[in-house]
Amino acid sequence: MKKVLTIILLTIVMLNGQTPSAETILKKIDENMISKNQIMTSSMIIHGRRVSRTIRAKSWSIGDTKNFTEYLSPAREKGTKMLKLDDKLWIYTPSTDRIIKISGHMLRQSVMGSDLSYEDMMESSDLTNSYDAKVIGSEEIDGKQCWIINLVGKTDDLAYHQRKIWVDMKLYVPLREELFAKSGKLLKRMELKNIINIDGRWYPTKMIFKDVLKNGEGTEFVIDEIKFDQNIPKYKFSKAGLRR
């Protein structure tokens, strides 16, 4: 009996030894996903009840504090620009030639009819400092072994009190993320696919966002082109840049 118990305990210790800590996994994810800056051309495919719309955009960003996005197509959205500086967001529409600050209730509105709200775009990606992370198991997604990391908010002022992230054990890239309400109800799900190697980083080029409380197929976000650590002029992240 003692022998059996010893074997079980040893197995547990060995298995634990194979699983890196959640903090280590999150750090490795950051190495893949976070860069000094990036320039990206992307397509957002919004699936409506009858038809789907594709919105193309080019964005310039520094970390998760500064972002400038210019919509390229369709014609109705072309020229619309969005500027995010820390926790502030402005939007410029060429048809009205006005810059509007998005705040309060407006932040909850969906971005161009997608499953993403402005406040989702405003969220900080600093998970390590905001959440207590713990590896709670493993699961296979599309034939890839993943760790499941459960994140519980350290403070009361986070938008999502709990998150779950499925991380590819080999590439250290998140393949799925679920966002939960304080009550534990699942609110949003994000699937990350088509992982490719760009400049030595593993990066997902297709993301599917889904507000699980809402009917519909969700919103696809496809990266057409992405460049890391480029020279981005400072004026890009100024309000004056919105009218240029």
Partner 1 sequence: MLSLKLAYKNLIGAGLRTWLNVIVLSFSFVIIIWNKGLLNGWNEQAKRDMIDWQIGGGQYWQKDYDPYDMFTINESHSVIPDGISDDIQNGLLTPILINTATIYPEGRMQNVLLKGILPEQKILKLPTDKLQKNSDEISILIGSRMAESNKLQVGDYFTIRWRDANGTFDAADAKVVDIFHTNVPIVDQGKIWLSLEQLQKMLQAPNEATMLITENNSVEKEEISGWVFRGHDYLLKEMDNLIKMKSVGGSIFYGILLALALLAIFDTQILSIFRRQKEIGTEIALGMTRWQVVRLFTVEGAMYSVFAAILAAIYGIPLLTWQAKVGLAMPEGTDDYGLPIAKSIFPSYSIGLVIGTVLTIFIATVIVSYLPAKKISKMNPTDAIKGKIQ
| Among the listed residues 215, 231, 234, 240, the single contact to partner 1 using CB under 8 A | 215
99 touches partner 1 (CB under 8 A): no
From 103-111, 129-137, 163-171, 196-204, give the range in contact with partner 1 by CB under 8 A: 103-111
Query: For partner 1, which is the closer residue by CB, 36 or 185?
Result: 185
154 touches partner 1 (CB under 8 A): no
User: What burial letters (b/e) apply to 156-192, b meaning 16+ CB within 10 Å?
Assistant: eebebbbbbbbbbeebbbbbbbbbbeeeeeebbbbbb
From 144-152, 179-187, 198-206, 220-228, give the range in contact with partner 1 by CB under 8 A: 179-187
Residue 229: left (phi > 0), alpha (psi -120 to 50), or beta?
Answer: left
Are 168 and 146 contacting, i.e. CB atoms less than 8 angstroms apart? yes
Query: For partner 1, which is the closer residue by CB, 160 or 203?
Result: 160
- Tell which residue, 199, 152, 149, 154, has the closest CA to residue 174: 149
156 touches partner 1 (CB under 8 A): yes
Please list, in sequence order, all residues whose beta carbon lies within 8 angstroms of the beta carbon of residue 126, skipping any fewer than 6 positions away. 64
212 half-sphere exposure, CB direction, 13 A CA radius: 12
| Among the listed residues 50, 51, 104, 231, the single contact to partner 1 using CB under 8 A | 104
Which amino acid makes up residue 174?
Answer: P
161 touches partner 1 (CB under 8 A): yes
From 22-30, 98-106, 137-145, 169-177, give the range in contact with partner 1 by CB under 8 A: 98-106
CA angle 16/185/28 to nearest 5° reads: 35
Least Cβ distance, residue 183 to partner 1 (angstroms)? 5
164 touches partner 1 (CB under 8 A): no
CA 160, 162, 167, 169 torsion: positive or negative? positive
From 80-88, 149-157, 163-171, 217-225, give the range in contact with partner 1 by CB under 8 A: 149-157
216-235 binders of partner 1 (CB under 8 A):
216
98 touches partner 1 (CB under 8 A): no
Please list, in sequence order, all residues whose beta carbon lies within 8 angstroms of the beta carbon of residue 77, skipping any fewer than 6 positions away. 55, 71, 112
Q: Which residues bind partner 1 (CB under 8 A)?
A: 103-106, 108, 153, 156-161, 179, 181-183, 185, 187, 211, 213-216
